[in-house]
Structure 1
C-alpha cells in the first residue's frame, strides 16, 4: 500500500477536501434511494391521484436522469471557463430550484416531473465536475480512495433515504408531509455543498492550465500544507505536463479527442460507466422495495429490508475504501467481481423459480435465502463496480481534455441510468425474477471486456497517464522530478525542458 507523505495537516486537508466534494455523491445516492420508497407511500398516490403505478415509477426516475445526462454532457464548457467551484455552485442552485418545485403542494404530476428534470440538471452537472475536481487535487497515493468517496457518500445517501422512507411510512399519517419531508430534505446537502465549496481552494491544475501559476501554487501549498521540495517537484510535474500537452497538440482542436490515445480513453470512460449500470445494482437501488417484494412478498417488510440493504451498502463500500482501495489493482478487482455477481444472480433466479412463492406476505426460507444472496451481490459490487469507475474516469485523461472526458463518462452513467430506470419497472412486471438472469449475462460480458481492454492505473500520477496510454504528450515524469529535487537552480515556476538539459522560466507576469 502506498504511503502518503507530507504533513499531517496536508493529509487531513486532502481527506477532508476529497470527501467534502463527494457530497455530490451523497445527493446522487439520496435522490436514488428516496424514489422507490416515496412511490410506495399512500400519501403520495393520494395527493397526485394516479392509477398507473408502473408508468409513474418509470417516468419519475427516468425524467431526472434525462436532465442529468444532458447536464453531465454539457457542463464541461462552464467548468472549463469558470472553474470547478463556480460550476458546482451553479449546479446546486439548479438542484435546489428543482427540489422546491417538487415539494410545492401542486397536486400536479407535470409540475413534479419538471422539478425532477431541473434537479437532474444540477445533479448531473455536480456528478460530472466533482470527480475531476477531486482527482486534480488529490495526492496520487490516495487518489483512488478519495475518488471512490463518490460511491461511499452515494451509499450513505441511499442508506439515509431508505431509513427516512421507512420512518415516515410507519411514523407519520398519510398526508402531504409524509412524502414531502423525504423529498425536501435534499435541500440540506445541496446547501452544504453549494455554499461550503466557497471555503475550498480552486483546482490546482485548472488554475495552472489558465496560466494563473501564482494562484495554482498557493492552492497546492494549501492542500498539501507544505511548500517543500516534494511539493515543488509536484508543481513542476504539473506545469511540464501541461507544456508537453500544448507542444504535442499546438492548441486544442476537437479532433484531438479522436487521436488514438484519447479515443481509447473515451471508449474506456464510456465502457466502465456502462458496466457500472449493467451490473443491475443501480436498478436495485432505485427499485429496492419492488425487487424485494418479488422475493419475500409485500407489507412493510420490503421497506425494512431495503433499509438494511442500504446500511450494508454503506458499511461494505466504506470497508473497501478505507482498507483495500489503494491495495487492490483496479483491473482484476473489476473483472473478478463481475463474474461473482453473475453467479449470485444465477443462484437467486434458480432458487426463486424452484421454490414456492410467499403466501399472504409471509416470507419463506427460500425468499430469505435469495435476499441474503442479493446482499452478498451488493457487497461484491461495493468492493468493485460501485466505487472504482469514479476515480478511474477522472484520472485517465490529460488536463486539457479532462472536463470533456469526465463529462462523457459520467453522462454515459446517467444515460444508462435513464434507460434501465425506465425499463426496469416493466421488466419486473413482465419477467419477474428472470430480470436477474438478464443482469447476470451483462455482468459476464463486462468481465470479458475489462479483462481484454482496461488499463491498470493504481498508484500512477495524472501526468504519468500519458505514458500508459502512449500519448504524444508523454514524458519521463521521474526524470523531471529527479531534476527538480537535485537542482536548486530550478525555480518552482520553471518548466523543465524534457527534450534537453535546460529549463526555462514560464512564470505568469
Structure 2
C-alpha cells in the first residue's frame, strides 16, 4: 500500500511524492506550477481524475485565497477562482455547514469568512459576495510581551478551528489569547477567549475528541497549556493548573532556550492520551545570537519532537519524552488519521521525513523514509490503494512559511530565519521592553502563595515591618486616655493648659520623624541594600521604642516618638520595595496586599493590646504596649539577613552573578532554568535602561547633582500638572481627617457623649472598619476608575463630616438627653472611615505611581509619600488643639477639604486607569512621556547593539 503526499511552500510550485512503507522509500513524482509561497492547502474532492483543492498564497501586505485543481494525467495546475486577503494569511478551514471558508491572517490580525458555492461534483468556487471580517481588539495597552516582543505588537491570528456547535477558535500569537467567535449569516463577534499567560505567543491548538479540552502551544514560551471548555465560552478562561509542560529537550542549554521557537501541535488521532509538539532552530543558536557563550560546535542533526503522555482525563501530564529528527527547523508535522505514521518537514533547506508510530501509547518512533530535495512545505493525504487515490477532504494540509517581523529593520533577518534577540530586548516602542514582568512561575492569587512557601515566608517576615508601622500608629490612641500615663506626663492630662498642644506635638513627632525617614531611606536602600536599609530602620524604631518605654519625662517621650517615627517612615518605603523586588510576577500583587494587611492588623492589635493593658494599675499599663513594639522589629532586623539580597539591588551594583544566585535561591530553581534566566536578564537589562535614561535626560550630571536634578524634574513645566495631582491627592487623603480618628478616636467619641469605656470600645471598631475597607480597596479601585473615586470619594467623605458638624454644634452640651443623636454621630464616623477606605485610602498610593513617566516615577512616588507624611504631621499636631478651641469647627474643617478635593479632582484629575504613556500625555496635555519614549528608543538600540 502506497501513499501520496502533496508539498508546497515558499516557492512557485507544488510537488507530489510517493511513500511506500514496504520498501521504506520516499520519491518525487511530479512538480506543478503554483502560486508563490502557498502557506496552507486543503483538499476538497476528486472528480474525473482531478484533485480539487483550496490554498493560500502568503504576502506581507496582502495575500490571496484561491481554489485550484491538479490534473495528474496532464501534470497541470489551474486556479479556478481567487479572492484577496489581508497580510500573511495563515490558515483556513471549510465551515461544517459548507457556507464559507473561515480564514485567519497573521499580519492582517483578522478573521474573515469568504462565501463559497459547491457544485454537484463537489467542486468549490469562491463567490463574489462580500466577505465578513472581524478584527479582535488587541488587549495590551503597551505592545510587547514575552521573550520576543517584536512579535507581539498587534493581533497575529495563526490558526482557526471550529467546534461542533459552530463556534470558531483562533489562537493569537500577538495577544496571548485564543479568541472564541460566534457567527451568524452576516456577522461575527467575540464571545470569550482562552487567556494564556503573557508572553506565551499562542500558535496552534487542538481539541480533545469530545471537545471538552483544548490544548494550546505557545511559540514563545515553549509550553503546552490545557483549557477546560466544558462550561462554554467565557471571558478569560484560565489554563488548567499544573498543566504546562515545557517541550524544549534537556539537551538544550538553558541559556539557549530563548533562541528556539515552538511550532506544531498534534493529538494522536486514535489515542487521545498522546500529544506531539515540535521545536525549531536547534541548529541555528549561534547564528541567531552570536554573542552567546558555550554554544556547542557539534550541532544536533535536527530539531526535536516532544511526546506528551496524558492521564486518562487529559488534564494532567503523565510523562514527557523527546525524539530527535534530522529535519532542520521543523515547520510542519501531520499524523495520518490511523495514527501509524507521522510526516515531519523542514523550513531550512527543505527536507521531509516519515516516522512510524508504535508502542501502546504511541510513544515509540522509528524513521521509515527521508528525503531532502529543497522541499520547504508539505501536505499529507489519507491512506489509498494506489498513487492516484483521492486526498480526502477531512484532512488538513499544512505548508510552513516564514513569519515576517513588523519592524522593517529586522525584516531581512526574519526572512533568513534569524531573529535578533539580546537580553530579551526587542527594538520596539514599549514602556518596559525587558520582559522580566511577564514570566509565569505558577498560578496567581492564593494558590500561587501556597505553591511558593519560601517566598511567602520571606515576604511574611518583611511584612512584619508593616506590622511594626501599624502597631506604632495604633498604640497611642488608648495610651493618651490612661490615668497612669497622665500621672507621669501631666502635660498631656485633660484639663492641663498645655493639653492640646502637648498631645498634638507628641503625636505629630511620629509623623515628622516619618517624613524625614521616607526622605532618608532611598539613599540608605540604594547604598547599603534593601535588607540593611530595613535593619537600620529597625534600629531607629527599637531605639524609639526603648525611649518611649523608659521615658520618665515629656521630652524623652517626644524624642522616642520622633526617633521611632524615622524608623516608621523608612518602613513605609522599605518593606514594599523589598517585597516587590523579590516577589515573582505572578504573586507580587498578593504579597504586597499581605504587607498592607499587616499594617492594618498591627494597628488593630496595638489598640486592643493597649485596651487590655489599661487595667494594670502601675506605669506598665502604658509601658508594656510601648515595649511590645520591639519584638516584631527585632525579628525583622535580625532574621532578614538569613534571606537573599534583592536581585535588582545587586544588579544596580553591577553584581550580576550574585543577582542570579539570589534569584535562584528565591525561586527555588536551578540557575539554568529558562524562566530564572529570562527574569535575571530582564532585571539586569532594565536596570541598565533606567540608568541610561537618567543619564540621557541629564548628560554630564552625576552623583548628588544627578539626584537633585531628578527632584527638580518634578517641577519642570511639562511635569508640573502631574506633580500637582500626585502631591494633591495624598494631601487631601490626610486632610480628609482619617488619622485624626485613628490617633484621637476616643476623644472624638467622648465628645459625642459616650462614656470612657464605650468610647474605647468604639475606637477599636474604627480600626476594624479600616480592615474591612482595606478589602474594599481591591474591589473598587480598578472597577470604578481613579477619577470617579477621587470626585465621589471627596463628596462621600465630606457629607458625614458636615452632618457631624451640625449635630455636634447643636447637641454638644446635651448628649445625655439626646443619646440617639450621639449614636448617629458614631455611625457617621464609621461611614466616613469606610468611604475613605474605599476611595482615598488607595488613591494616595495608586495615582502617584501612574501619572509619572518611568524616568521620574521613583522620585515622584517618593515626593508623594513625603507629602503624605508631612500632611499627616500637620494633622497630628493640630487636631487636639482644634478640638479644644473650635469644637464642631473641626468637622467643618475636614468637610471643607473633602469637598475641595472633589472639586479639584473634577477639574484637575484625569482618568489614568489603564492608560499607555502616550495616552497619559493626552490626559495631562503635555508630551512628557513622548519625550521619554524618544530617549528610550535610543537607549534600547544602544543596549541591543552593545553600544
The TM-score, its normalising length taken from structure 2, stands at 0.46
For residue 202 of structure 1, give the secondary structure of its aligned residue in structure 2: coil
1:314 and 2:774 correspond: no
Which position in structure 2 is the counterpart of 1:420?
875
2:365 — aligned with what? Answer: none
Asked whether the equivalents of residues 209 and 400 of structure 1 are also in contact (C-alpha less than 8 Å), the reply is no
Question: Which among 842, 852, 860 is matched to residue 387 of structure 1?
Answer: 842
1:290 CA displacement: 0.6
State whether residues 91 and 123 of structure 1, in contact with CA within 8 Å, keep that contact through their aligned partners in structure 2. Answer: yes
Per mean C-alpha deviation after superposition, the further-off stretch among 204-213 and 5-14 is 5-14
Single out whichever of 230-239 and 153-162 deviates more from structure 2.
Answer: 230-239
TM superposition shift of 1:42? 0.6
User: How far is the alpha carbon of 1:466 from its aligned partner?
Assistant: 10
1:346 aligns with 2:829: no
Q: Deviations over 1:408-443 (max 9, x none)?
A: 222222211111111101111122233112111111
Asked if 2 retains the 8 angstrom alpha-carbon contact of 1:144 and 1:391, the reply is: no
The offset of 1:285, in angstroms, is: 0.5
Cα RMSD, aligned residues only: 3.8
Tell me which residue corresponds to 1:290. Answer: 747
Q: Provide closer, same or farther for how the CA distance between residues 476 and 114 of structure 1 changes in structure 2, counting only shifts above 3 A.
A: closer
Map of 1:90 onto structure 2: 536
**Unpaired segments of 5 or more residues in structure 1?**
481-495
1:258 correspondence with 2:712: yes
Distance in 2 of aligned mates of 1:331 and 1:202:
38
Whether 1:434 aligns to 2:889 is yes
1:214 maps to which residue? 657
Alpha-carbon offset, residue 180 of structure 1: 0.7
| Per-residue Cα deviation, 1:228-255 (whole angstroms, up to 9, x for no partner) | 2874685455544544444444355233
Instruction: For residue 113 of structure 1, report the CA deviation from its aligned partner.
Output: 1.4
- Structure 2 residue 505 is the aligned partner of structure 1 residue 55: no
The worse-fitting range, judged by mean Cα deviation, of 158-167 and 328-337 is 328-337
Does the C-alpha gap of structure 1 residues 471 and 268 become closer, same or farther in structure 2, counting only changes over 3 Å? farther
Q: Give the number of the structure with larger relative contact order, counting CA–CA contacts within 8 Å between residues 6 or more apart.
A: 1
- 1:178-235 Cα offsets, whole Å, 9 max, x none, are 1111111111222233234324443444333333333444555665667428746854
Paired with 2:808 and 2:499, the residues of 1 have a C-alpha distance of 24
Q: 1:208 to 1:100 in 2, by over 3 A?
A: same
Matches of 1:396 and 1:221, distance apart in 2: 34
- Which residue of structure 2 lines up, in the alignment, with residue 365 of structure 1? 820
Equivalent position to 1:7, from 433, 441, 446: 441
Which residue in the other structure is 2:429 paired with? Answer: none
For residues 607 and 571 of structure 2, what CA distance do their matches in structure 1 show? 22
CA distance in 2, matches of 1:268, 1:102: 37
Equivalent residue number for residue 377 of structure 1: 832
| Whole-angstrom CA distance in 1 between matches of 2:569 and 2:489 | 26
Using a 3 Å threshold, how does the CA distance of structure 1 residues 446 and 382 change in structure 2: closer, same or farther?
A: same
Matched with 1:488 is none
Structure 1 distance, partners of 2:642, 2:847, is: 27
1:463, distance to aligned residue in structure 2 (A): 13
Instruction: Confirm or deny: 8 A CA contact 2:769 2:834 kept in the other structure.
Output: yes
| 552, 555, 560: which one aligns with 1:110 | 555
| Of 260-269 and 464-473, the range deviating more from structure 2 | 464-473
**Counterpart in the other structure of 2:484:** 43
Using the alignment, how far apart are the partners of 2:847 and 2:578 within structure 1?
13
Deviation larger for 200-209 or 454-463: 454-463
Cα deviations across residues 90-138 of structure 1 (Å, max 9, x unaligned)?
011011011101111x521111111112111211222233344445456
Q: Deviations over 1:332-360 (max 9, x none)?
A: 33332122111221222233344575555
Q: Check if 1:279 corresponds to 2:725.
A: no
Partners of 1:338 and 1:295 in 2: CA distance: 24
**Per-residue Cα deviation, 1:275-301 (whole angstroms, up to 9, x for no partner):** 221110111111111111111333211
Conserved 8 A contact 1:145-1:325 = no
Query: Partner of 1:333 in structure 2?
Result: 789
The 5 A counterparts of 1:234-273 are 234-235=682-683, 236=685, 239-250=688-699, 251-252=701-702, 253=706, 254-259=708-713, 260=716, 266-273=723-730
Hey, what's the Cα distance between the residues in 2 that align with 1:268 and 1:318? 25
Which string of whole-angstrom CA distances, capped at 9 and with x for unpartnered residues, describes residues 392-412 of structure 1? 445666776565444322222
Determine if contact 1:270/1:409 at 8 Å carries over to the other structure.
Answer: yes
CA contact 1:69–1:414 (8 Å) conserved in 2: yes
Q: Deviations over 1:262-318 (max 9, x none)?
A: 555544442232122111011111111111111133321110100112112112213
CA distance in 1 between partners of 2:667 and 2:920 (Å):
22
Contact 1:257 1:263 in 2 (8 A): no
Distance in 1 of aligned mates of 2:561 and 2:758: 28
Contact kept? 1:79, 1:403, Cα under 8 Å: no
Q: Which has the greater radius of gyration?
A: 2
Separation (CA, whole Å) in 1 of partners of 2:588 and 2:841: 16
- 1-structure distance, mates of 2:613, 2:911: 45
Matched, 1:179 2:634: no
What's the CA shift for 1:77?
2.0
1:81 is matched with: 527
Q: 1:114 to 1:497 in 2, by over 3 A?
A: closer
Tell me, yes or no, if the aligned pair for 1:102 and 1:116 is still in contact at 8 Å: yes
Structure 2: distance between partners of 1:465 and 1:96: 43
| 1:90 to 1:497, Cα distance in 2 relative to 1, 3 A | closer
Secondary structure of the structure 1 residue equivalent to 2:511: helix
SS of equivalent to 2:842: coil
Cα distance in 2, alignment partners of residues 465 and 89 from structure 1 = 38
Are the equivalent residues in 2 in contact too, given 1:203–1:219 (CA < 8 A)?
A: yes
Aligned residues between the structures: 483
TM-score by length of 1: 0.81
Cα–Cα, structure 1 residues 414 and 237, in superposed 2: closer, same or farther, change >3 Å? Answer: closer
Q: 1:335 to 1:270 in 2, by over 3 A?
A: same
CA contact (8 A) 2:542 2:564 kept: yes
Which residue, 446, 456, 472 being the options, matches 2:931? 472
- Please give the alpha-carbon distance, in whole angstroms, between the structure 2 residues aligned to 1:270 and 1:72: 15
Does the 8 Å contact 1:147/1:391 carry over to 2? no
Q: Which moved more, 1:299-308 or 1:227-236?
A: 227-236
Asked whether the equivalents of residues 19 and 149 of structure 1 are also in contact (C-alpha less than 8 Å), the reply is yes
